[in-house]
Structure 1
Amino acid sequence: MAKRLTDNINSQYFEAINKMTPKKARRRIVVYVESYDDVFFWRSVLGRYEDDKLTFDIMLPSRNQHLDRGKKAAISNMLKGVGRDMIACVDADYDYILQGSTEMSKQMLENPYIFHTYAYAIENFQCYAKGLHETCVMVTLNDHRIFNFERFLLSYSQTIWPLFVWHVVFLQRRKMTMHFDMCEFNKVVVLPSVRIQNPQWAIEYLSKKVRAKMFQLERRFPKLKDALPETERMLRDLGINDNNTYLYIQGHHLFDLVVSPVVQTVCDILRNEQENDIRDRAVHSEQARTEIACYENSLGKVKMMMKKNTYYQFSPEFQKILADVERYLEKDF
């Protein structure tokens, strides 16, 4: 038996509150997310649908006056009282790929009031290749394109794709996942230091690691090799392929160990380039020091700017999220 009113909070609770508000007041939809970083992302999704009749209130779930974090907390708060006035927005993780084969995946995919990212996590969107030059401009205020992020992440995706298919084969067989889990996969697909002038060296090094791991898997698990074509077809049907693999691997790994180090290196070069240009154009050394100080005060931090960049809104995965939200709004409002 519930001890507090807050223990009984569900969609019906918020629906009752909405009924008690003045007729001209906007309907309030409570949105549970996994972490503070997620609030901004889901605001970029839901904010466009607010009008004089509807508003979204995005927050972390709480229970017994304590904040809960993570997908399980967000979803568990939904299960007892899901409805149109209280929804959950979560990272897909591998649950989109698993297509309902686990309880968590089934709940996420079948519940019309739980929305997910399609891509593994929000961090993957923050690494969206077409927006990374914009990030560099936000950090350095220098619009010089010295690195092709799209080509780089395309090569990265195409290189890790065959191993990713192997990884999914193991994910689909829960009793075998331990033999090639996410931690082991991440160890293989991490990049060495990328040389901006010759990024292909890092890709070739990665390719050797991928081939070595695949050879090992083929020898240890020869019967699983037969499952690869079917798994690859399934992934492609979901919109996951060798061109966008990077969007579906673990987000923290991609952000911290693959993309942000490259963005940082590019930004360091662009910053030095801009400072050298200031020195060349300055009339005297004092002016140069003053201009450089002003410039440095205007610089941003790489990881912060990656999180603030919203270029991911042009991605196919983001468009799928919008389509889900629009179906929900058309059905319930």
Structure 2
Amino acid sequence: MAEVRLNDLVTGSFIKSTQRFSTTPHLIPVQVYVEGKDDICFWRKFLRKYDSKYVFNVVTNKVANNGDDGKEALMKISSLSLNKIVCVDADFDLLIDNYHTYTSLLRQGDFIINTEYYSIENILLRHESLYRFIHSIVQEMASFDFNDYLNKFSTAIYDLFLFLLCSLDCKSTDFGFKQFNDYINSISIRRDNYSDAFIKFSEDYHKDLKLEFQKYKTEMDKYDSILRTKGYLKYDTHKLLQGHILFNTVLKSLIVFECNVCKNQKVADIYKRTDIDILQKDSLKEEYNKSFGGYSSMHECIDAKFYACEYWDGDKVPQPVVAKLDALYS
């Protein structure tokens, strides 16, 4: 006898039938399944644009059905409809054919929404959002050029990224996520002179992998063409990189540094004031420090606030994601 999962029994029709018993009977209920708790605030905030007609209950499979979290579990959920949808990270399923057993379903499913970029992190880490994120923490605007940094980082790793894609596609044992991540981890993340660091990094890995690049030239050219057809240029690579690597390895140390620079400047500005005495200055500094929420470090503060998405306006979401949701709920 086939196993019956709880989420199979909770159909779209059942969810819609709860509308008349809800506290908002004028709104159409929609159950939205996401991969994990870190995804809830992102999707909840983005879906607000449809709040005039719908009420979205954004949940994990574990909480809603005592099932497994994660993309693979969500891709097994059946009976999807306008009232029951799944929102997942795209990963490489839009780039590599048959990357997973569910790749075609993810691409074609009417009620399966994917991020288009690799993950929600890649959307949240657009340079526009980074400035708002830092401002939300330290109440100051960062001066670092994140846009230029991301563009030059992306250009530097482009060929390495192409090699990763074709290696995964060919199921090669020569190169995979571990080797790719080891290379990314080897980059000297520097606030100053990062252009030179990226140029050297690119030169070094091209020397290291010269023979491999020659061996896989046809496959790498194929993925270069695929990316260009999808509208991605070399400086867009950060949108397709593993989101956790982009956040934790490539950007977090810079975000922490910028936050500390802005924080120190804010405190310095307080003590430069001539209209208040030293006790008032000390009081303002204490009040400002309390605004960080009592975290033990700036690093901890950033980790806690990033996925809360309070700084994010729900903008800069890839157009295919917007278009698909607009078609369903506008």
TM-score by length of 1: 0.85
What is the alpha-carbon distance in structure 1 between the residues aligned to residue 38 and residue 208 of structure 2?
34
**Shift of residue 234, structure 1, vs aligned partner:** 0.8
What is the alpha-carbon distance in structure 2 between the residues aligned to residue 141 and residue 23 of structure 1?
36
The answer for unaligned runs of 5 or more in structure 2 is 294-300
What is the alpha-carbon distance in structure 2 between the residues aligned to residue 312 and residue 185 of structure 1?
31
Do the aligned residues in 1 keep the contact of 2:34 with 2:61 (CA within 8 Å)? yes
**Shift of residue 5, structure 1, vs aligned partner:** 6.5
Do the aligned residues in 2 keep the contact of 1:191 with 1:258 (CA within 8 Å)? no
- The total of aligned residue pairs comes to 319
Q: Does structure 1 residue 303 correspond to structure 2 residue 295? A: no
What is the alpha-carbon distance in structure 1 between the residues aligned to residue 139 and residue 108 of structure 2?
44
Do the aligned residues in 2 keep the contact of 1:126 with 1:312 (CA within 8 Å)? no
Instruction: Summarize the Cα distance change of 1:65–1:107 in structure 2 as closer, same or farther, 3 Å threshold.
Output: closer
**Shift of residue 147, structure 1, vs aligned partner:** 0.9
Query: Could you list the per-position Cα deviations for residues 151-184 of structure 1 after superposition, in whole angstroms to 9, with x for gaps in the alignment?
Result: 00000011011111111111222x32x3211221
Instruction: Summarize the Cα distance change of 1:292–1:111 in structure 2 as closer, same or farther, 3 Å threshold.
Output: same
Q: Does structure 1 residue 286 correspond to structure 2 residue 286? A: no
Query: Could you list the per-position Cα deviations for residues 78-118 of structure 1 after superposition, in whole angstroms to 9, with x for gaps in the alignment?
Result: xx322222110001111111245542211110111100001
Residue 135 of structure 1 aligns to a residue whose secondary structure is helix
What is the alpha-carbon distance in structure 1 between the residues aligned to residue 134 and residue 22 of structure 2?
46
Instruction: Summarize the Cα distance change of 1:19–1:262 in structure 2 as closer, same or farther, 3 Å threshold.
Output: same
The one-letter amino acid paired with 2:122 is N
**Shift of residue 203, structure 1, vs aligned partner:** 2.0
What is the alpha-carbon distance in structure 2 between the residues aligned to residue 25 and residue 287 of structure 1?
51
Percent identity reads 24
What is the alpha-carbon distance in structure 1 between the residues aligned to residue 17 and residue 270 of structure 2?
62
What is the alpha-carbon distance in structure 1 between the residues aligned to residue 5 and residue 119 of structure 2?
34
Do the aligned residues in 2 keep the contact of 1:161 with 1:241 (CA within 8 Å)? no
Q: Does structure 1 residue 114 correspond to structure 2 residue 98? A: no
The one-letter amino acid paired with 1:46 is L
Q: Does structure 1 residue 141 correspond to structure 2 residue 157? A: no
**2:49 counterpart residue number:** 48
**1:314 counterpart residue number:** 316
What is the alpha-carbon distance in structure 2 between the residues aligned to residue 291 and residue 170 of structure 1?
55
Match of 2:210 among 202, 212, 215: 215
TM-score by length of 2: 0.86
Instruction: Summarize the Cα distance change of 1:191–1:289 in structure 2 as closer, same or farther, 3 Å threshold.
Output: farther
**Shift of residue 6, structure 1, vs aligned partner:** 6.0
The one-letter amino acid paired with 1:13 is F
**1:89 counterpart residue number:** 87
**Shift of residue 65, structure 1, vs aligned partner:** 5.2
Match of 1:227 among 219, 224, 228: 219
What is the alpha-carbon distance in structure 2 between the residues aligned to residue 88 and residue 15 of structure 1?
16
The one-letter amino acid paired with 2:281 is A
The one-letter amino acid paired with 1:267 is C
Query: Could you list the per-position Cα deviations for residues 45-88 of structure 1 after superposition, in whole angstroms to 9, with x for gaps in the alignment?
Result: 2221122x4222111114995242110111112xx322222110
**Shift of residue 211, structure 1, vs aligned partner:** 2.0
Do the aligned residues in 1 keep the contact of 2:89 with 2:120 (CA within 8 Å)? yes
**Shift of residue 296, structure 1, vs aligned partner:** 1.2
Instruction: Summarize the Cα distance change of 1:191–1:124 in structure 2 as closer, same or farther, 3 Å threshold.
Output: farther
Residue 96 of structure 1 aligns to a residue whose secondary structure is coil
**2:60 counterpart residue number:** 60
**1:132 counterpart residue number:** 130
The one-letter amino acid paired with 1:112 is D
**Shift of residue 192, structure 1, vs aligned partner:** 4.2
What is the alpha-carbon distance in structure 2 between the residues aligned to residue 310 and residue 81 of structure 1?
32
Do the aligned residues in 2 keep the contact of 1:115 with 1:321 (CA within 8 Å)? yes
Instruction: Summarize the Cα distance change of 1:137–1:25 in structure 2 as closer, same or farther, 3 Å threshold.
Output: closer
Instruction: Summarize the Cα distance change of 1:49–1:134 in structure 2 as closer, same or farther, 3 Å threshold.
Output: same
Instruction: Summarize the Cα distance change of 1:23–1:146 in structure 2 as closer, same or farther, 3 Å threshold.
Output: closer
**2:267 counterpart residue number:** 275
**1:196 counterpart residue number:** 191
Do the aligned residues in 1 keep the contact of 2:39 with 2:120 (CA within 8 Å)? yes
Judge which range, 274-283 or 151-160, deviates more.
Answer: 274-283
Residue 286 of structure 2 aligns to a residue whose secondary structure is helix
Instruction: Summarize the Cα distance change of 1:278–1:8 in structure 2 as closer, same or farther, 3 Å threshold.
Output: same
The answer for unaligned runs of 5 or more in structure 1 is none
Instruction: Summarize the Cα distance change of 1:286–1:181 in structure 2 as closer, same or farther, 3 Å threshold.
Output: same
Instruction: Indicate the RMSD between aligned Cα atoms, in angstroms.
Output: 2.8
**1:256 counterpart residue number:** 248
**Shift of residue 287, structure 1, vs aligned partner:** 3.2
Instruction: Summarize the Cα distance change of 1:16–1:291 in structure 2 as closer, same or farther, 3 Å threshold.
Output: closer
Instruction: Summarize the Cα distance change of 1:4–1:188 in structure 2 as closer, same or farther, 3 Å threshold.
Output: closer
The one-letter amino acid paired with 1:295 is Y
